[in-house]
């Protein structure tokens, strides 16, 4: 069993017995790992607070590829998230980010680009002054593209015609132009398609500049949710956002 170190984002953690804790982490070098920190709650040297969701850590652990649970050694914060956990809206979006990573990434296959992007999004949400929703959509679009499910936004995948307004076909799981859709599925206005394109071509620094009204908010949010649930098994909704909506309602 070798002592390894990597960068990690805690996705989920729960108590194990009276004194220990298990955390599911997304790591830069080992993909998704489950780690047990034995006796951490009573230890004077190990700090239990590290293993909480959304924390970005430099993690040391004992690795045995044959075991399902790796053994925690120690950690420190790799980037401090100062406000993310003290604001109910930021907290909910932060939870939604780690929930999506947890539910879409499987196994120990590392993906450094997705890892660093997730870290950067959490950091941007931490510093955000009010465009959490755009940051989350931007995260969803990029995640879809890294998973290989980027939606067609410029040309219809069936007739290659231009996509001014579009329909999301639940039969095909794709956005189609008005001519190819057979009247079923969810319609996206020209403005909503433009918002999706801006998200697709945007960056973390300028995503806050994308503007849209209430109709686009409904359409784009609804489309991304339906698109995820079509392409990712078992993902009918992002639970963390549902919780936030019920708190704020
Ligand atoms: Zn078409």
Q: Average pLDDT for residues 108-127, to the nearest whole number? A: 94
Torsion of CA 74, 113, 65, 73, to 10 degrees: 0
Task: Flag whether pLDDT at 59 surpasses 80.
Answer: yes
142 vs 246, residue with greater confidence: 142
Task: Flag whether pLDDT at 35 surpasses 80.
Answer: yes
- Give the Å distance between the CA of 158 and the centre of ligand 1: 5
226 vs 28, residue with greater confidence: 28
Q: Average pLDDT for residues 123-141, to the nearest whole number? A: 93
The residue whose two tokens read 């219809």 is 156
- Residue 249: per-residue pLDDT: 62
- Give the Å distance between the CA of 191 and the centre of ligand 1: 18
In this structure, what DSSP letter does residue 38 have?
Answer: T
The whole-angstrom separation of Cα 48 and Cα 34 is: 15
Q: Average pLDDT for residues 66-79, to the nearest whole number? A: 94
The residue whose two tokens read 């993902």 is 235
- Residue 31: per-residue pLDDT: 95
| Phi, psi (rounded to 5 degrees) for 80 | -75, 135
- Give the Å distance between the CA of 162 and the centre of ligand 1: 8
- Give the Å distance between the CA of 210 and the centre of ligand 1: 27
106 vs 5, residue with greater confidence: 5
Going by pLDDT thresholds of 50, 70 and 90, the confidence category of residue 179 is: confident
Q: Average pLDDT for residues 70-99, to the nearest whole number? A: 92
Ordered DSSP codes for 136-164? HHHHHHHHHHHHT-PPP-SB-TTT--B-S
- Give the Å distance between the CA of 234 and the centre of ligand 1: 29
Average pLDDT, the chain: 89
What is the percent of the chain with per-residue pLDDT over 90, rounded to a whole number? 56
Helix, strand, coil fractions of the chain, as percent rounded to 5:
40, 25, 35
CA atoms within 13 A on the CB side of 191: 10
Does residue 76 contact residue 109 with C-beta atoms inside 8 Å?
no
Going by pLDDT thresholds of 50, 70 and 90, the confidence category of residue 14 is: very high
CATH hierarchy code of domain 84-248: 1.20.1440.120
- Residue 95: per-residue pLDDT: 93
Going by pLDDT thresholds of 50, 70 and 90, the confidence category of residue 108 is: confident
User: Which segment of 125-129, 207-211, 241-245 scores lowest on mean pLDDT?
Assistant: 241-245
- Give the Å distance between the CA of 163 and the centre of ligand 1: 8
CATH hierarchy code of domain 2-79: 2.40.50.140
The whole-angstrom separation of Cα 215 and Cα 192 is: 8
Q: Average pLDDT for residues 234-248, to the nearest whole number? A: 68
> Where are the domains positioned within the chain?
2-79, 84-248
Among 105, 91, 123, 130, CA closest to 208: 130
Task: Flag whether pLDDT at 198 surpasses 70.
Answer: yes
- Give the Å distance between the CA of 222 and the centre of ligand 1: 21
Task: Flag whether pLDDT at 162 surpasses 70.
Answer: yes
In this structure, what DSSP letter does residue 48 have?
Answer: G
Cα–Cα distances (Å) from 121 to 95, 128, 211, 234, 247, in that order, read 12, 10, 19, 24, 23
Question: Which residues sit opposite 56 in a β-bridge?
Answer: 9, 79
Ordered DSSP codes for 163-214? -SSEEEETTTTEEE-TTTS-S-SEEE-HHHHHHHHHHHH--TTTGGG----H
- β-bridge pairing 166-169 and 186-188: antiparallel
- Give the Å distance between the CA of 167 and the centre of ligand 1: 10
- Give the Å distance between the CA of 197 and the centre of ligand 1: 18
- Residue 183: per-residue pLDDT: 61
Task: Flag whether pLDDT at 185 surpasses 80.
Answer: no
Question: Which residues sit opposite 60 in a β-bridge?
Answer: 5, 74
Where does residue 207 rank: exposed (0-12), middle (13-18), buried (19+ CB within 10 A)? Answer: buried
- Give the Å distance between the CA of 68 and the centre of ligand 1: 47
- Give the Å distance between the CA of 189 and the centre of ligand 1: 15
- Give the Å distance between the CA of 230 and the centre of ligand 1: 20
């Amino acid at each position: 069993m070798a002592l390894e170190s990597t960068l990690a984002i805690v996705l989920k953690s729960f108590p194990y017995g009276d004194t220990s804790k298990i955390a599911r982490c997304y790591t830069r070098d080992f993909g998704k790992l489950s780690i047990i920190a034995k006796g951490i709650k009573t230890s004077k040297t190990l700090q239990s607070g590290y293993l909480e969701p959304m924390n970005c850590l430099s993690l040391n652990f004992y690795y045995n590829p044959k075991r399902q649970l790796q053994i925690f050694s120690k950690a420190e914060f790799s980037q401090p998230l100062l406000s993310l956990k003290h604001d109910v809206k930021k907290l909910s979006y932060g939870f939604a980010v780690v929930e999506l990573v947890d539910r879409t990434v499987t196994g120990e296959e590392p993906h450094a680009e997705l890892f660093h992007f997730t870290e950067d999004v959490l950091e941007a949400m931490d510093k955000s002054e009010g465009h959490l929703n755009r940051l989350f959509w931007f995260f969803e679009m990029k995640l879809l593209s890294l998973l290989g499910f980027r939606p067609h936004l410029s040309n219809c995948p069936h007739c290659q015609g231009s996509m001014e307004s579009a329909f999301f076909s639940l039969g095909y799981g794709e956005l189609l132009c008005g001519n190819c859709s057979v009247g079923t599925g969810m319609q996206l206005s020209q403005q909503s398609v433009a918002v999706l394109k801006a998200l697709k071509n945007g960056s973390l620094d300028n995503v806050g500049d994308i503007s849209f009204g209430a109709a686009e908010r409904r359409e784009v949010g609804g489309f991304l949710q339906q698109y995820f649930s079509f392409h990712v098994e078992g993902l009918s909704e992002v639970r963390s956002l549902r919780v936030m909506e019920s708190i704020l309602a």
